[in-house]
Structure 1
Amino acid sequence: MNKNRQIKEAKIAEIKEKMQKSEGIVLAHYQGLTVEEDTELRKNLREAGVEYKVYKNTLSILAAKELGYDGITNLLEGPVSIAFGYEDPTAPARVLNDFAKDHKKLELVGAIVQGEIFDAAKTKEFASIPPKDVLIAKLLGSLKAPLSNLVYLLNAIKGKKESEEV
């Protein structure tokens, strides 16, 4: 086996591993970004715990097909970058979409979220979902509110009965 083939097979294995570990994967066209813009984007993604890579489309397609993601073949056309979110499935979409609002050269192409393939429109919808910790905080807040109201009500009843006894 020649050296070039070994390198390609190693890259395919790397891409497959990243795809398997990822909760959310977002594909984006990045052509036209300046070096400064790309550096800023990579910094924002890193801060959000997202890994950002550019691979050859043919290698990405081969890795995706081996994992059963045949539907992303049409999304991997032209210069495409891949953002891998390992903990929060919406983080790559959220960061890339926020960046794309100010930098029109960046365009979301599609996503794979927990094994399902989505187009650009659905990917933008995922971008509007808050981070996991924010969703948990909202849930806890909504669970806490009725309990707080019950405690307030019981204290008010107790206070009223105590004032009537005096």
Structure 2
Amino acid sequence: MLTLEQKKVIVSEVAEVASKAPTAIAAEYIGLTVADMTRLRQEAREAGVYVRVVRNTLAKRALADTPYASMQDGLVGPLLLAFSQEDHASAARVIRDFSKKNDKLVVKQVALEGKLLDASAVETLANLPTYEEAVSKLMAVMIAPVSQLARTLAAPHAKLVRTVAAVKEQKEAA
């Protein structure tokens, strides 16, 4: 049994994480073994995701003054809370990948920047590129016109060199 002080610590910890997190996911974990939960926590830790199993009454108090207050009504049954800490999609990726391996983990709620989404949005959210991937795609788009211009400007010179080389070969052959 938790003491009042322990409960206050849990509520403040979850509230602090929730206030900074860009994404929150509530998932039902009925039927997961201790080994499964340990594996999930390890994968989450490696991905920079805060995962916590919290009593619903404590979770409701913790989320009350955060952007995720809209999740309070859906906190029913044994749930774990997952908060992205680095990028928007990290929690969704961890939960989606783990639930593919273990169908006992069921997503109940997804919230992005405080807005409650449909539970199926976890797939869409998980498919978002990471920050590094988005930057590299942007750089590729930005550099494409410049590299095309360089190839276009170099083409006449290259064609002239090939033509002179072909004329030289013809004269040597004759």
Measured against aligned partners, the alpha-carbon deviations of 1:56-115 in whole angstroms (never above 9, x if no partner) come to 111111121222533212321111111121111110001110111121001111222222
Amino acid at match of 1:126: L
Judged with a 3 Å threshold, the aligned counterparts in structure 2 of structure 1 residues 4 and 93 are, in CA distance, closer, same or farther, namely: same
Amino acid at match of 1:14: E
Name the counterpart of 1:113. 112
Name the counterpart of 1:155. 154
Shift in Å, 1:164 = 6.9
Name the counterpart of 1:48. 47
Give the SS at the match of 2:83.
Answer: strand
Normalising by structure 2, report the TM-score: 0.83
Shift in Å, 1:146 = 2.4
Does 1:88 pair with 2:87? yes
**Residues 114-123 or 53-62, more deviating:** 114-123
**Residues 34-43 or 11-20, more deviating:** 34-43
What is the rounded CA distance, in whole Å, between the counterparts of 2:94 and 2:35 in structure 1?
17
Amino acid at match of 2:107: L
Measured against aligned partners, the alpha-carbon deviations of 1:108-153 in whole angstroms (never above 9, x if no partner) come to 1122222222230222321221222112212212222222222111
Contact 2:23 2:112 in 1 (8 A): yes
Give the SS at the match of 2:135.
Answer: helix
**Residues 106-115 or 61-70, more deviating:** 61-70
Structure 1 runs, 4 residues or longer, greater than 6 Å off:
163-166
Name the counterpart of 1:69. 68
Name the counterpart of 1:78. 77
Name the counterpart of 1:131. 130
RMSD: 2.2
Contact 1:25 1:89 in 2 (8 A): no
Give the SS at the match of 1:66.
Answer: coil
How many matched pairs?
164
Name the counterpart of 1:145. 144
Name the counterpart of 1:58. 57
What is the rounded CA distance, in whole Å, between the counterparts of 2:41 and 2:130 in structure 1?
19
Normalising by structure 1, report the TM-score: 0.86
Contact 1:31 1:79 in 2 (8 A): yes
Q: Percent identity, aligned pairs only?
A: 32
Give the SS at the match of 2:120.
Answer: helix
Give the SS at the match of 2:64.
Answer: helix
Amino acid at match of 1:38: M
